[in-house]
Structure 1
Amino acid sequence: MKVYEALAKAFAAEGTKTVFGMMGDANMYWMEELDKLGVELVEARHEGGGLAMADGYGRVHADPGVCTTTSGPGVTQLATTLVVAARARTPLVAFIGEAPAGDPSYVQRLDQSRFAEACEAAFVHVTTPDLAYDAVQKAFYIARTESRPVLISAPMDVQQKPFPDADDEYVPSTELLAPVRPIFPNPEVVEQVADLVAASERIVIVAGRGAERSGAGDEILRLAQDTGALIATTLMTKTWLSEDEFHVGISGNYATRTAIELFQDADLVIALGAGLNKYTTNHGYNYPMAKYVQVDTKHHVVMGDGRSADIFLQADARLAVQELRAALETRGVHHTGYRTPDVKEKLATAWVDDEPYDVEEGTVDPRDVCTTLDEQVPAEIGLVIGGGQNICFSTILMKKKRRSILMNQHFGCIGQGLTTAIGQMFATGKQPTFLMEGDAGFMMHLPEFETAVRSELPLLVIVMNDQLLGAEYHKAVAKGLNAELARISTPDLGEVGRALGGRGSLVRSIAELETAIAEFVADPAPTIVDVRISTQVISIPYRRLHFGQEA
């Protein structure tokens, strides 16, 4: 058995079912061996696109996402998405080929360990044949336990050498992991939290990914009812628990004006599995008079403004809320708090943005696009939201609870929406999904739409097309610069979708958008809907950040 065969066997034993990427000299033998083992190979049109697909896969699947590239230039194409995956804390393993160890003049030579370090990824090197099994096990162990991307770098000449331990059975990294037991909260700290809750009148619960993953939903709903609390979420858990009638949406700069006004009166924030970074607290502006309780599985977390919470409780979110509710019941605590008819009436219209704008002929108000999609795309169709200025509309205004919602704002870059959507769909059985993306971000990885077509993915791409670098355009207007420098025309992207083998349409009215939605819902297939939106309508976050408006 050759080293490349041993490496492929180890990947398969780790549970790898799908690998995204591009074939080259330095990974082709490994890929062929995976194919023989029944692993699905998804050939992307760009190495960075393949990594982004693995990123989308790893964020929603129980096993790490897996991608591959050849050596040198194949590796350097991964840079932006590696940082994205690191910031998103995605468990991901990338098998990267490497120049022959004995040829320092090889044209694709690169110090790939330094590259990995610069991109905030872990690095495992297969320097000798006997390290093949150990390298794969170590890489998957790091990905699973540290929740981060890992590069396995295997020189071409080492891959072709005999594997000396061919008779040994590979031990998957999962066998090294102790059973995960939820952290039980310290009873004394729970009592302190209960005292603080009992003394508070206006409580906001901020629920994050940690709480969602712990299965704390039902307990949080009961705690909110017992304490009269509002329920807010972080950006990454958008619409979770929105069945509660006092759910106010996202906490942070993506909050509605109604939510921000209610937050001003909060005297206690209970953060459950939420990092309370500066975006979630809106740099402290959201909760100026509140004390903080923070529940997290980490030993300790400092909030985004550099402070520690008034009470930090290391615990599993579900167990923490259970114990807190028991302590409050013993005290007979039951607050009305925010849960009044007046607050309920305010929340009924919280997501309405009626700021008047003059919309250019042949374009659509992007707010109406979001409302129409929210109303007419069924909840069982998942949503992926890309990056850039235009997603500021969908992030705030789309409030329907869906089968899944995947956000792409970990590194402040554009161009990740289409590719992470593809990866997420492979991880969830290719269930119908729609993507909200801007034109500039979509154009970056336009060829990957053909990957979606080739893979027969039921993906609806909604391109919010203002024919601008939207963020730069509106910032330039606000700062008195030449905004026209940010204008970039685009072709009819619906026509491009058809040319790439899918479906597509150009939309200049809400009626045309409704027709396009109905066609996809009736027969989900790879589709691009190029929605020409007005450049005059400014999103709520941009009105706040750049124009100083109370939006």
Structure 2
Amino acid sequence: MAHHVYESLADSFVAEGVGTCFALLGDANMNWATALAGRGVEMVYVRHEHCAIAAASAFARKTGQTGVATVTCGPGLTQVMTALPAAVRAGIPLVIFAGESPLGAAWYNQEIDQAPFVTATGSAYRRLHHIPRMTEEIRDAFVQAREERRPVVLGVPFDLQAQMLDAPLKQSPPSTRIMPQLAPMPANPAAIADLAGRIGQARRVVVMAGLGAVAAGAGPACAALADRLGALLATTLPARGLFHGHPYSLGVAGGFSSTLARALFQQADLVLAVGCRLTQHNLDKGKLFAGAEIVQIDLAPRAVSQGMIPATSHLRGDAKLSAEALHLAVAPSPGWRNDRLKAAIADMVPDTADFPPEPGLLDPRDVVAELDAALPAEWQMVNSSGHCSFFFAHMKRPHSHFLTIREFGAIGNGISYAMGVAAARPGDTVVMFDGDGSLLMHVQELETIRRHGMNILICALNDGAYGSEIHKLRDEGLPDDGAVFGRVDLGAIARGFGIAGERITDLSDLPAQVAKFARTGGAAVWDFPVSDKIASPVIRRAHPGGHCGTERPVDIEALL
């Protein structure tokens, strides 16, 4: 029976267990994508190529699967040059079917050498130019994405895709069948004993967990180790919420740490970094744990990270097994736990600085606190990037219900990440937190959300500007005109796309608004006009002259 090459390529993706694909169609991918849809794969058709890749990234992070997206060749591919490095930096496996210009054409207006663009982002590029090997190449792309934890882009000339075959191409065994099934790696017993001895000399220990601890299911083991040592708990930003509800959890460690957490971290003498990369942000450029020994516990510890020597010693091993082994090897200690400190952590606010109120405008910290109190615990939360992301990062939500991807520092991704989470959790309500500047970068995806019937509530802090930039410009004594745009009515824009939209100026209305949205479902944008004078602690430390606030340090002497 006659069969197109693109049909066999679609069969290869189905054989890999692909159930969802984020797509924007063009000449080089539309036949393949149509065949994929015809084989029962859920297709999410977005309005911009960047958003297909970004949504697939969030889907992958949320499901633990390899994310799949497709864009056309040439300009379709060049549109994704921000989404690709964002996935690379976050270690997210993706396979992207991008097509290529036809090999047999003397001229094609969208022809471009695609590989240098892709590899410049840190992603891999595979040219599929030999039809008999194409199905095996697709299988190998899924292997590569999983093993290397990065995107793999497939370039398949669309004239080759259109060729007719007498019979379907033979399918290779899928990647899931040939991937090594690796058992967790225990740490060396001698290394455990040595580290246990050093832990016994420490008085104030912090157990800090990252995504490696999340992947290993090490959260309970890390908490148990901390309880035995009287230690404080913290996480990296991507792993935030792993110790949700623990009375001695300080939340995020890094540039996003709360005022109390930063003060306590300065008093630590030993940090057990379990499954952490130890980055510049996570260690706040080496300032966060100024007097502490830092031990990196990881499957692949690194001597140098982002230009710094982050750890003083290392333990190679699985996060969960290592935490459990240390728990057995160390003696119990009260550490620095007491009722006074426990009460202070329970009452902890992310930012203690004072700012003069602005009539008619909200304090973003108040908005976040009220949203945290009003939004149901079972809803899925998505944090975007940019200035406002500090405030939302401190919401009291478990890791399983709060997504953060911001390793590349790019704004404009939030709405795509929300779509990815909505596809990954189709029965859940998704709440996305963003700023006005970031939301407006890809506001066209409101139409995608409406068309696909996604239950997404977008809460935007609207300061009428690019928040980080205005504070930096003011700090340097420069005009902020180029970063100030005025407070667009985001609710009206949402209504123009056929979804609900509200401008909320009275926070006492929030419980009723949340209850109404819970009843109706659907999609909505809530526009919160906030003061542009309130700078996050991250900005204030780097640009102290760009704000009008008064710092209120926390006195921890009485807590220790």
Coarse TM-score class (shorter-chain normalised): over 0.9
Per mean C-alpha deviation after superposition, the further-off stretch among 157-166 and 181-190 is 157-166
Query: Is the 8 Å Cα contact of residues 283 and 305 (structure 1) preserved in structure 2?
Result: no
Distance 1:337 1:305 in 2: 33
Query: Is the 8 Å Cα contact of residues 130 and 165 (structure 1) preserved in structure 2?
Result: no
TM-superposed deviation, 1:354: 4.7
The verdict on how the C-alpha distance between 1:164 and 1:135 changes in structure 2, with shifts beyond 3 A counting, is: farther
Q: Which residue of 2 aligns with 1:125?
A: 127
TM-superposed deviation, 1:222: 1.2
Query: Is the 8 Å Cα contact of residues 5 and 168 (structure 2) preserved in structure 1?
Result: no
Q: Helix, strand or coil: the match of 1:56?
A: helix
Distance 2:117 2:298 in 1: 32
Structure 2 unaligned spans of 5+: 554-560
Distance 1:137 1:192 in 2: 44
Root-mean-square deviation over aligned CA pairs? 1.7
Please list the CA deviations of residues 223-247 of structure 1 after superposition, one character each: whole Å capped at 9, or x if unmatched. Answer: 1111010001000111211221111
**Aligned to 2:368, which of 370, 380, 393?**
370
TM-superposed deviation, 1:300: 3.9
Please list the CA deviations of residues 485-506 of structure 1 after superposition, one character each: whole Å capped at 9, or x if unmatched. Answer: 3111243211221221211111
Alignment of 1:523-534 (within 5 A): 523-534=520-531
1:322 aligns with 2:317: no
Q: Which residue of 2 aligns with 1:461?
A: 458
The verdict on how the C-alpha distance between 1:389 and 1:299 changes in structure 2, with shifts beyond 3 A counting, is: closer
Per mean C-alpha deviation after superposition, the further-off stretch among 513-522 and 179-188 is 513-522
Per mean C-alpha deviation after superposition, the further-off stretch among 297-306 and 191-200 is 297-306
The verdict on how the C-alpha distance between 1:290 and 1:433 changes in structure 2, with shifts beyond 3 A counting, is: same
Q: Which residue of 2 aligns with 1:233?
A: 235
TM-superposed deviation, 1:312: 1.2
**Aligned to 2:78, which of 76, 89, 99?**
76
Query: Is the 8 Å Cα contact of residues 130 and 164 (structure 1) preserved in structure 2?
Result: no
The verdict on how the C-alpha distance between 1:163 and 1:318 changes in structure 2, with shifts beyond 3 A counting, is: farther
TM-superposed deviation, 1:430: 4.2
TM-score normalised by length of structure 1: 0.95
Alignment of 1:49-198 (within 5 A): 49-163=51-165, 166=168, 168-198=170-200
Q: Which residue of 2 aligns with 1:416?
A: 413
The verdict on how the C-alpha distance between 1:80 and 1:104 changes in structure 2, with shifts beyond 3 A counting, is: farther
Distance 2:516 2:185 in 1: 48
1:434 aligns with 2:431: yes
TM-superposed deviation, 1:104: 4.8
Give the partner amino acid of 1:498: R
The verdict on how the C-alpha distance between 1:227 and 1:32 changes in structure 2, with shifts beyond 3 A counting, is: same
Aligned residues between the structures:
546
Query: Is the 8 Å Cα contact of residues 257 and 350 (structure 2) preserved in structure 1?
Result: no
Q: Which residue of 2 aligns with 1:480?
A: 477
Query: Is the 8 Å Cα contact of residues 382 and 402 (structure 1) preserved in structure 2?
Result: no
Give the partner amino acid of 1:228: G
TM-superposed deviation, 1:70: 1.1
Q: Which residue of 2 aligns with 1:251?
A: 253
Please list the CA deviations of residues 199-239 of structure 1 after superposition, one character each: whole Å capped at 9, or x if unmatched. Answer: 11110011111111111122111111110100010001112
Give the partner amino acid of 1:253: G
The verdict on how the C-alpha distance between 1:417 and 1:352 changes in structure 2, with shifts beyond 3 A counting, is: closer
Distance 1:357 1:502 in 2: 35
TM-score normalised by length of structure 2: 0.94
Give the partner amino acid of 2:490: L
Per mean C-alpha deviation after superposition, the further-off stretch among 347-356 and 230-239 is 347-356
Q: Which residue of 2 aligns with 1:306?
A: 308
Q: Helix, strand or coil: the match of 1:102?
A: coil
Query: Is the 8 Å Cα contact of residues 387 and 468 (structure 2) preserved in structure 1?
Result: yes
Give the partner amino acid of 1:414: I
Q: Helix, strand or coil: the match of 1:406?
A: strand
Per mean C-alpha deviation after superposition, the further-off stretch among 529-538 and 159-168 is 159-168
Distance 2:201 2:307 in 1: 25
Distance 1:165 1:298 in 2: 46
Structure 1 unaligned spans of 5+: none
Distance 2:26 2:340 in 1: 63
Please list the CA deviations of residues 371-404 of structure 1 after superposition, one character each: whole Å capped at 9, or x if unmatched. Answer: 00111101111111111112222224x2333641
Query: Is the 8 Å Cα contact of residues 239 and 399 (structure 2) preserved in structure 1?
Result: no
Distance 1:127 1:456 in 2: 38
The verdict on how the C-alpha distance between 1:6 and 1:221 changes in structure 2, with shifts beyond 3 A counting, is: same
Query: Is the 8 Å Cα contact of residues 384 and 434 (structure 1) preserved in structure 2?
Result: yes
Please list the CA deviations of residues 118-170 of structure 1 after superposition, one character each: whole Å capped at 9, or x if unmatched. Answer: 12110111112112112211111111111100100100111112457736343
Q: Helix, strand or coil: the match of 2:160?
A: helix
